[in-house]
Every structure is written in C-alpha cells, then in structure tokens.
Amino acid sequence: MLTENRFTKYLMYALGEIILVVVGILIALQINNWNEQRKEQIREKKLLYSLKEDFQATKSNLLKSLDYYPELMERLEKQLSYLGYNNAQITETIKTQLTGTFFPNTKIFDGSLNVVLSSENLQLISNDSLKKYLTAYPSYLSSFKEQETDAKKLVLNEHRPILEHYFSLTDWYTRDGRDPDLASRTVPSDFVGLVNDRAFQNVLVKEIYHINYTFDEAETLLNRTNQFLEEIDKELNSGNP
C-alpha cells in the first residue's frame, strides 16, 4: 500500500513536470510567433513606405506631363496652321516654330513595385485591397508607357526625317554671317516645300491624335496611382506597428 502511494505521488509529480514543460514550450512558441509577426509587420511598413515614395514621385511626374500635353498640342496645332503658306508668309519666327519637335517623356518610378511583384514580398502585404491594386497596376502602367513610347517613336522615326529632308543645318551653322562663302554654296532650307508636303501634314495630325491618347492614358494612370496612395495611407495609419 505504501509503495503504491509513493508511485502515485511520483506519477503526479512527473505529470506536473511534463505539464509545466509543455506549457513553457507553448508560451515560448507563442512569444516566438508574436515576434515573427511583429517583424513581418515592420517589414510590411517599410515596404509600404518605399511604395508610397515611388508612387508619389510618379504622381508628381504624371501631373507635370498632364500640364505639358496641352502645351505640346498647342505647338503642333500652331505648326498645322502654317500648312500651305508661301515664301512671303513664312517669317523667321515661323521657321523656328516649324523646326521644333517635341515628345513626352514621363519618368515612372516602379522599382519598389517590381521588387514586390517579383518576390515573396507580396505575401507581406496583409491588406487584400492593396494586393489587388498592386497586381492590377502594371497593366495600366504598361498601357501608358506603350502609348507614350509610340508618340516618341512617331517624332523620331517620321517627323524628324521629314524635317531633315527640307531643313538645312548649314542655315544654322552660317547664321550671323559666319562663313559667307560656305553659305553661298550650300543647299538652303525649303520651308515652302515642308508646309506643302503631305507627309508633314499627316505626321502632325498623327502626333496630335497620339498626344490625345497619351493624355487619356496618363489620366487613367494618375487615378489609379491616387487610389493606391489612399489605400497605403489607410494601412499606414491603421495603428499597426
């Protein structure tokens, strides 16, 4: 009987020790999980701040481009108004305006976005709405970049070659009386031919349409950028670490 009581006491003691060990392990695991979650929350915050910085920079540049597009349209329409002019109508000011070529070039900051989408960092984003905007944003960004690139190619591949056909750089080189002998032997610019050239007329109209399309794409991208920034601010102000 005495032996049996001792065994029972020993068993109870052993069970108590086991329970204490298990509870200690569970508490340690819980603390470790809490620490890991906190580390992930801190990493998420840093990631969100990086994304916010890039998107704010992109927003600033989009706003500048949206201000520039109407100015660009005005210059193209001004060139279009000179079509059909004769030599007497083409002043030096008009010549300067006709030789100007312009294209938009909006700087987009997408480094942080690429890092998130090309790695496991996307899983750090706990807000499902943010994930949705992040994964959808590249399609809007691609459409805008493609449209702006097309406008640039139109200037470089069509507009400028037409100008080079009619405009003589030696006119610029020999201005202000420099090298009069050379000036007398070079082929002068033909601005009358330029403003009566169908290809020149067509490229101006195409550029106007391209700038209109680019303007629309820029507005769409700006709206998406603003939506994304609003979601980021909500998450950063949510009170999480």
Spell out a b/e string for 159-176, using b for 16 or more CB atoms within 10 Å of the CB, else e.
Answer: bbebbeebbeebbeebee
pLDDT > 60? residue 230: yes
Confidence of residue 23 (pLDDT cuts 50, 70, 90): low
Angle, vertex CA 232, rays to CA 227 and CA 233, nearest 5? 100
Give residue-wise pLDDT tens across range 129-182: 888 888 899 999 999 999 999 999 999 999 999 999 998 877 766 666 666 766
Rounded Cα distance, 95 and 47, in Å? 52
Question: What's the pLDDT at 9?
Answer: 63
Give residue-wise pLDDT tens across range 99-125: 989 888 899 999 888 888 877 777 778
Rounded Cα distance, 187 and 85, in Å? 21
Question: What's the pLDDT at 6?
Answer: 61
State mean pLDDT over 71-99: 94
Better-scored residue on pLDDT, 42 or 235: 235
pTM metric for this prediction: 0.79
Question: What's the pLDDT at 45?
Answer: 86
Question: What's the pLDDT at 13?
Answer: 65
Rounded Cα distance, 192 and 180, in Å? 23
pLDDT > 90? residue 43: no
